[in-house]
A and B are shown apart, each in its own frame.
Chain A
Amino acid sequence: MNDTVISIERLCVEFDGAHVLEDVNVDIQAGDVIALLGPNGSGKSTLIRAILGLQPVDHGRITLFGTPLRRFKQWQRIALVPQRLPGASSIPVSVWETVLSGAISPRTRWRPFSRTEKNAAVQALHDVDLWDRRHSRLDTLSGGQQRRVLVARALASNADVILMDEPTAGLDAANVTALARLLGELKARGRTIIVVTHEIDAIESLVTRAIVLAPDAHHSVQYDGPPPVPNSFAHDHHHHHDAVIDDSPPVIGMES
């Protein structure tokens, strides 16, 4: 299980001349369950987007499954769980259509979905316990249920590596617990999981490795090791988290 699936070397990302990420070096192994922590503005989402090629990089090197990002083609091996779908509110989209859309790729262009691909979507809907809602309009589900649909969408793609952007943000306790249970199952199935989060508590027992990004960019990775996060960083992190909740309600999506 010691295959490196994602390798990040000396990564720098700037916004308008300011370093958001500086000299980030991280290797992620197959089977890792990683909590990516850090206050708002520390570049968690930027790092995720850079890994996926959605964020231009100023310096450094990202390698996915041994292939430099620029030449990487096997996108079916990686899936992203976003916080929401921007296009899902303008036209009705059913839960089933959303989940099955995880299997769409240029490789399936010239043929219908295979039995295997449809079965993966069926299984994914059962995994998130929303099979009964498959015919519902996505926007009639609660926020927590919608988040689970997006997790199912990633599962339907059968990706080895799943990146989740703040999957617990704004969820009630019951939905957080359900999500944690699901993460446990994915871990047992050997998936590599990277979770961007403010709240490690709910998933701490599953996490094999915590990576804390610093609020200022001088040493972008502040801590990289097994949980629990040492107090000095954890305190910093929690403190900032509380402050953000108090000051600015729209925490969600602030960092994109």
Chain B
Amino acid sequence: MIWDFDFMRRALLAAALVGLIAPLIGVFLVQRRLALLGDGMGHVALTGVGLAFLLGTAPIPTAMATAALGAFLIEFIRYRSRTAGDVALALLFYGGIAGGVLFASLAPGRASSSLNSYLFGSLSTVASGDLWALGALVVTVLLVLLFFGRELFAVSLDPDIAQVQGIKVRAMSTLMAILAAIVVVVGMRVVGLLLVSAIMIVPVAAAQQVTRSFRATAALAVVIGVIASVTGLVGSFYVEAPPGPAIVIIALACFAILAIVAVPIRRRRREHS
């Protein structure tokens, strides 16, 4: 059974962690209409991975550093320059991919072929040391949400009112981007950098079709996120495919199922009110 393999136990744990925190951040991103921010982070982190190959450093901290840098960059471009938000993101997409592939090809050995496992995830690349790093990142995200979650919620509801309530809107936006960067790094090994953003966004999009509150949306999205991550990972083991695409396909299936379920639910609620 798959439990007999050490690497699968580690991968399953890592997948569950991603499924848990990715939607918790995604719910804020979707509300702020920044659904593509995670993709931007993922692409930037790819440059970090390429850089790690080239310099021989550990991929997780290097990717974390570049993604965090990308987070600041994105907020800076959004506020300071006249570049529109979507163009700013596009610039990061291109720069991130180009940098990642370029650095990886300059690196010695078979770096560019192992880059593939960072793009779409891999079952066998979660080392036991990685798990501790991932765990620490997940705990950090949960603590930040515990203390700053309400302020992040207020900012995503209306930045102007949030400012009138004394909330530091710029600081919260940057915090949001950094949290997204952390999720990207947590997810890069299992889901892969090109699809990790999907596990932030798709469960939220699925859940919000049937929920009536922000809290319920976040909770249901986490359930969907964990189910998709774990079953996708197990499925990919049996069909011998990279886990990222399998996880995302299952999350999308959840979206489709809830889209169908939502129709009678909404009708019943309308009749009640």
Task: Tell me the A residues contacting B by CB distance below 8 Å.
Answer: 49, 52-54, 73, 75-76, 78-80, 82, 85-88, 90-94, 96-98, 101-102, 104-110, 133, 135-137, 140, 157
Contacts of B215 in A (CB 8 A): 94, 97
The reply to whether A92 and B273 contact each other, CB–CB distance below 8 Å, is no
The reply to whether A52 and B164 contact each other, CB–CB distance below 8 Å, is yes
Other A-B contacts than A75-B164, A109-B147, 17 sampled, CB-CB below 8 A, are A49-B160, A53-B164, A54-B163, A85-B157, A87-B33, A90-B33, A91-B204, A92-B212, A92-B213, A93-B214, A94-B214, A97-B214, A97-B215, A98-B157, A101-B150, A104-B165, A140-B273
Q: Which of A88, A92, A93, A105 contacts B165 (CB 8 A)?
A: A105
Contacts of A54 in B (CB 8 A): 160, 163-164
The reply to whether B273 and A80 contact each other, CB–CB distance below 8 Å, is no
| SS of B interface (majority) | helix
The reply to whether A101 and B213 contact each other, CB–CB distance below 8 Å, is no
Within 8 A of A (CB), among B166-202: 166-168
Q: A136-B212, A157-B165 are in contact. Are A109 and B157 (CB under 8 A)?
A: no
Within 8 A of A (CB), among B119-159: 147-148, 150-151, 153-154, 156-158
Contacts of B158 in A (CB 8 A): 82, 85-87
The reply to whether A80 and B164 contact each other, CB–CB distance below 8 Å, is yes
Name the interface size band of chain B.
20 to 34
The reply to whether A91 and B30 contact each other, CB–CB distance below 8 Å, is yes
Within 8 A of A (CB), among B218-273: 269, 273
Most interface-central of B33, B148, B150 (chain A CB within 10 A): B150
B91 close to chain A: CB less than 8 A? no
